[in-house]
């Protein structure tokens, strides 16, 4: 079989998640290519060496450009802070290599547009890390909607909240820098916007409000020096979908008690469907005429689930979703699939996020 060389940039939480996913994919699935973990890069050369050894990569680099230039690397996985996505992806595309980039695609719509155009010109496979869409239960939710089991869809209510920035004494990080990240909307809300589009289709217009609650944070842990914060802590938006449905989305990284609360309720003229990522192996389904909601559990009848467990109710987790995302990526690179969010679709998510920011800034409805 053809060998596919993987190059991974970044060794943080997402770098480790990607490494696990590539290792898991070749253990769990019968792949049409042989995966080779060719190279790993990190700005800290010693950390790059340690992680390459621990995660099974053949080569370590202290310079990400060296990884892209490595002839053994066919696919570049980018798990760095957001502002580095653009230069790394553009360099990889210029080298004619497939790109797997974490979300959000870029820190500006202009960058995202350039990236999707470069990807189209290069003619290579691109994917962006919207891994929650690869949950078998989300696939089932989409089928329920498309089969018309909820009737005509009339509303979407979505929220993605966590509490990792809830403490006002939590120090400044790159996530607090406008040019490096983009606040709760970029960090969490982008997943929710991608999910809304995946399930209900395009959004026509938006009206929104953004709010920075903690305008100053310590420069470092325990420091008396304070740094100004300009990114949003929470976002609320109204949506009008192209299919006629109306919706609300909200996102916050200040909401005490929530750890991964990517949730939605979708209502139609004949029923309602509800999901919460903190209970990612189940849906709540109500059909008109029922007495209460039905609890639907994940099981091996759903595509993807059976690869990990032959028994219902045994639960998938975050890393399994990442593995399913990587599996679809590999199949696409091998020319045997088209699932997942490519740079074109990720640019559409960035268009929507940009419209929300503009609507909040100008306090008006914005049409996409």
Same domain, 288 and 305: yes
Whole-angstrom CA distances from 28 to 5, 6, 40, 323 are 18, 17, 22, 9
Q: Outline where DSSP puts E strands in 135-188.
A: 153-161
pLDDT of amino acid 179 = 84
pLDDT of amino acid 182 = 83
Contact 340, 325 (CB under 8 A): yes
Same domain, 23 and 87: yes
Quickly count: other Cβ atoms within 10 Å of residue 215's Cβ.
12
Same domain, 305 and 259: yes
Quickly count: other Cβ atoms within 10 Å of residue 288's Cβ.
11
Same domain, 123 and 27: yes
Q: How far apart are CA 330 and CA 340, in angstroms?
A: 11
Same domain, 64 and 156: no
pLDDT of amino acid 178 = 85
The CATH number given to whatever domain includes residue 122 is 3.40.50.720
Residues contacting residue 143 through CB under 8 Å, at least 6 positions apart: none
* Secondary structure class of 303 (helix, strand, coil): coil
89 located within any domain? yes
Rounded to 5 degrees, what are φ and ψ at 267? -115, 140
pTM of the model as a whole: 0.96
12 located within any domain? yes
325 located within any domain? no
Same domain, 361 and 234: yes
Same domain, 158 and 100: no
Residue-wise pLDDT for 43-93, tens only, equals 999 999 999 999 999 999 999 999 999 999 999 999 999 999 999 999 999
332 located within any domain? no
* Secondary structure class of 285 (helix, strand, coil): strand
Q: Give the end of a domain, one of 83, 102, 131.
A: 131
Same domain, 242 and 349: yes
pLDDT of amino acid 343 = 98
Q: Give the end of a domain, one of 107, 131, 155.
A: 131
Same domain, 154 and 87: no
322 located within any domain? no
pLDDT of amino acid 335 = 95
328 located within any domain? no
End-to-end CA distance of the chain: 45
Quickly count: other Cβ atoms within 10 Å of residue 216's Cβ.
12
pLDDT of amino acid 177 = 87
Sheet containing 261-268: order of strands: 294-297, 282-287, 271-276, 261-268, 153-161, 246-252, 234-241, 203-211, 366-367
The CATH number given to whatever domain includes residue 293 is 3.30.360.10
Average pLDDT per 10 consecutive residues for the chain, totaling 368 residues: 94 98 97 97 97 98 97 98 97 98 97 98 98 98 98 98 96 89 93 98 98 96 93 97 98 98 98 98 96 96 95 96 98 94 98 98 97
Same domain, 238 and 138: yes
Q: How far apart are CA 237 and CA 205, in angstroms?
A: 10
Q: How far apart are CA 114 and CA 108, in angstroms?
A: 10
352 located within any domain? yes
Q: Which among 134, 122, 73 has a CA at the least distance from the CA of 280? A: 134
Contact 326, 21 (CB under 8 A): yes
pLDDT of amino acid 156 = 98
DSSP 316: -
Q: Can you say how many angstroms the Cα of residue 54 is from the centroid of all Cα atoms in its chain?
A: 25
Q: Give the end of a domain, one of 115, 131, 147.
A: 131
Backbone Cα Rg of the chain: 21
Residue-wise pLDDT for 115-165, tens only, equals 999 999 999 999 999 999 999 999 999 999 999 999 999 999 999 999 999
Domain count, the chain: 2
69 located within any domain? yes
The b-or-e profile of 103-139 (16+ CB within 10 A means b, else e) is: bbbbbebebbbbbbebbeebebbbbbbbbbbbbbbbb
Residues contacting residue 272 through CB under 8 Å, at least 6 positions apart: 150, 265, 266, 285, 286, 293
Same domain, 73 and 157: no
Same domain, 170 and 303: yes
Determine the structural domain holding residue 260 and report its residue range. 134-312+341-367
């Amino acid at each position: 079989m053809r060998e596919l060389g993987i190059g991974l940039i970044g060794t943080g939480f997402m770098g480790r998640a990607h490494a696990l996913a590539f290792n898991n994919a070749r253990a769990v699935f019968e792949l049409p290519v042989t995966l080779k973990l060719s190279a790993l890069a990190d700005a800290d050369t010693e950390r790059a060496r340690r992680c390459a050894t621990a995660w099974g990569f053949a080569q370590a680099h202290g310079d990400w450009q060296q990884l892209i230039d490595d002839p053994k690397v066919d696919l570049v996985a980018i798990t760095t802070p957001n502002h580095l996505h653009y230069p790394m992806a553009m360099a990889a595309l210029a080298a004619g290599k497939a790109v797997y980039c974490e979300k959000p695609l870029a820190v500006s719509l202009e960058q995202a547009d350039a990236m999707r155009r470069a990807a189209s010109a290069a003619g290579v496979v691109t994917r962006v890390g919207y891994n929650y869409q690869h949950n078998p239960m989300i696939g089932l939710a989409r089928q329920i909607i498309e089969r018309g089991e909820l009737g005509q869809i009339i509303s979407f209510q979505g929220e993605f909240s966590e509490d990792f920035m809830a403490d006002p004494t939590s120090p400044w990080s790159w996530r607090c820098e406008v040019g490096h990240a983009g606040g709760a909307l970029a960090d969490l809300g982008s997943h929710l916007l991608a999910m809304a589009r995946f399930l209900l289709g395009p959004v026509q217009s938006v009206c929104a409000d953004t709010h920075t609650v903690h305008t100053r944070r310590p420069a470092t842990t325990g420091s008396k020096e304070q740094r100004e914060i300009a990114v949003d802590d929470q976002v609320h938006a109204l949506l009008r979908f192209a299919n006629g449905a109306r919706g609300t989305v909200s996102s916050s990284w200040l909401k005490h008690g929530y750890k991964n609360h990517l949730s939605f309720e979708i209502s139609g003229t004949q029923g309602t469907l509800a999901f919460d990522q903190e209970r990612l192996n189940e849906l709540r389904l109500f059909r008109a005429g029922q007495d209460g909601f039905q609890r639907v559990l994940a099981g091996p009848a759903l595509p993807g689930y059976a690869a990990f467990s032959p028994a219902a109710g045994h639960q998938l987790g975050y890393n399994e979703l990442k593995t399913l995302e990587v599996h679809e990526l590999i199949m696409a690179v091998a020319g045997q699939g088209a699932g997942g969010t490519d740079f074109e679709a990720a640019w559409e998510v960035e268009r929507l996020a940009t419209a929300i920011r503009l609507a909040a800034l100008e306090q008006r409805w914005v049409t996409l």
